[in-house]
Amino acid sequence: MNIFESVILAIDAVRSHKLRSSLTLFSIAIGIFAIIGSGTAVTSLNETVSKQMAEMGEGVFVLQKFPPVMSNDMWKKLRGRKDINFQQAKLFQQKMIENAEAVGIENSTGGIKVKYGNLSTDQNVSVAGGDDAYFITTNIMIEYGRPLNSEDVSMNRRVVVIGDDLVKKLFPVGSPLGKIITIKKQNFTVIGTIKRRGSVLGQSLDNRVIIPITVFMKYIADEWDVSVAISVKALSLDKVDETMDEAIGIMRGIRGDQPWMESSFAYYTNNTLSEQFEGFTKYVGFFGIGAGIVALVVAGVGIMNIMLVTVKERTREIGVRKALGAKRRWILQQFIIEAITLCQLGGGIGIILGLMGGVFLSLILGTVVAVPLHWIGISIGVCTFLGVFFGAYPAWKASKLDPIEALRYE
């Protein structure tokens, strides 16, 4: 029949029952909003992280004392581990260097205030100690000046490479190169600046400085965290696994791990990190979709209610249509189209809210705004399904009406 007419009738039904309709449309909107919103958030988070991972360089793995993410049980089990101290790392580096493109040593701390003259940053700068290879394994690019070199490390030079946030804050005019800045009462000469990297999850990656690891261990490192992390870049991408096996073997030797014991250190690649992250975002997604489904079921029952009332109110109309020769399927079709229209109205509002919410969240977290277009398709599909599913019973009831009884209905 005329689909357009059914759509008009549906909008009519919404208008004549403003409160009930708006509550129902609202809960559809909430459901779709939850689904679209979490879809947008998850897509944005994942895209941001994979972008970040790609930037950190491929074919790199890290060895450190603890895994990057630990459950409570794991922590209880592993808390007794011995530090990977600088000497062990140095030894590892010497043994590994021939079989890898670069082996970097690093430790870092956060919440530090950096000063230049009478200018100073907030107490939130992250300070890393690294070496020349650290710049390669973490893919840190230099904008002006130079990175740390091996002499800076071996000769304990008081030099520093600074991130873009510090350039802006401490050196609003003029070049920072050659200037002296103060970190934890120690003076350092700026020898380079890091190319801007942006932010992940609202956290700037440019609010950091890098000094030689040797100097770091001596003056800056927190006394409770002197265990270093070692990052290894394999000679080529297809050699990562092989290189990792080798590295684990060497490290076990250095740490004196007996063959029957588990390794006394953790190792992971960027892939394992991003997998873990995706596992986390999956939960966010499932939660959003779950909440959405609950809201949609509630809304579906509301749609059914509206449609039942509509059928009741229009009993005479149905009688007239049947008397004039409308077959059952015409009546079914008319009311199901009305139910679908109702759902799509709510869904449309939900899509708009969901996109706005997703964009808003992305802006807060400073992530890439990823509009999940396929989610819009999905929600249109979901709304159609809702309309058919919850409109079916009222429509069936309408189609079953006896024409004479319907015509006599007051």
Partner 1 sequence: MNNDIIINIEDVAKTYQMGAETVHALRSVSLQIRKNEYIAIMGPSGSGKSTMMNIVGCLDTPTKGTYLFENENVATMNDNELADIRNRKIGFVFQTFNLLARASTLKNVELPLVYAGVKKDERQQRAFAALESVGLQDRTHHKPNELSGGQRQRVAIARALVTKPSIILADEPTGNLDSKTGVEIMRLFGELWKNGNTVILVTHEEDIARHAHRIVRIRDGMIESDTINPSPAEV
CB nearer to partner 1: give 18 or 185: 18
CB nearer to partner 1: give 319 or 394: 319
Number of residues that bind partner 1 (CB under 8 A): 19
Q: Which residues inside 259-318 make contact with partner 1, applying CB under 8 A? A: 316-317
| CA distance to 114, 211, 239, 284, 298, per residue, from 160 (Å) | 12, 5, 33, 40, 60
Stretch that binds partner 1, among 148-156, 227-235, 320-328, 361-369 (CB under 8 A): 320-328
Residue 2 binding partner 1, by CB under 8 A:
yes
Whole-number Å distance between alpha carbons of 154 and 152: 6
Residue 321 binding partner 1, by CB under 8 A:
yes
Candidate list 1, 74, 141, 180; residue touching partner 1; CB under 8 A: 1
Q: What pairs with residue 45 in β-bridges?
A: none
Candidate list 301, 323, 363, 364; residue touching partner 1; CB under 8 A: 323
CB nearer to partner 1: give 280 or 330: 330
- Under a CB-based contact definition with an 8 Å cutoff, are residues 321 and 333 in contact? no
- CB neighbour burial string for 38-71, b if at least 16 within 10 angstroms, e if fewer: bbbbbbbbbebbeebbebbbebbbbbbbebeeee
Q: How many angstroms separate the most distant Cα atoms in the chain?
A: 102
Stretch that binds partner 1, among 77-85, 102-110, 254-262, 327-335 (CB under 8 A): 327-335
Residue 332 binding partner 1, by CB under 8 A:
no
Stretch that binds partner 1, among 80-88, 112-120, 220-228, 325-333 (CB under 8 A): 325-333
Q: What pairs with residue 63 in β-bridges?
A: 230, 267
Closest approach of partner 1 to the CB of residue 376, in Å: 32
Stretch that binds partner 1, among 22-30, 177-185, 187-195, 322-330 (CB under 8 A): 322-330
- Under a CB-based contact definition with an 8 Å cutoff, are residues 117 and 110 in contact? no
Whole-number Å distance between alpha carbons of 115 and 190: 12
Residue 330 binding partner 1, by CB under 8 A:
yes
Residue with tokens 């319907």: 406
Residue 19 binding partner 1, by CB under 8 A:
no
Whole-number Å distance between alpha carbons of 140 and 60: 13
Whole-number Å distance between alpha carbons of 260 and 352: 59
Closest approach of partner 1 to the CB of residue 8, in Å: 9
Residue 327 binding partner 1, by CB under 8 A:
yes
Whole-number Å distance between alpha carbons of 3 and 318: 16
Residue with tokens 């459950």: 71
Q: What residues line the site for partner 1 (CB under 8 A)?
A: 1-2, 12, 316-317, 319-328, 330, 403-404, 407
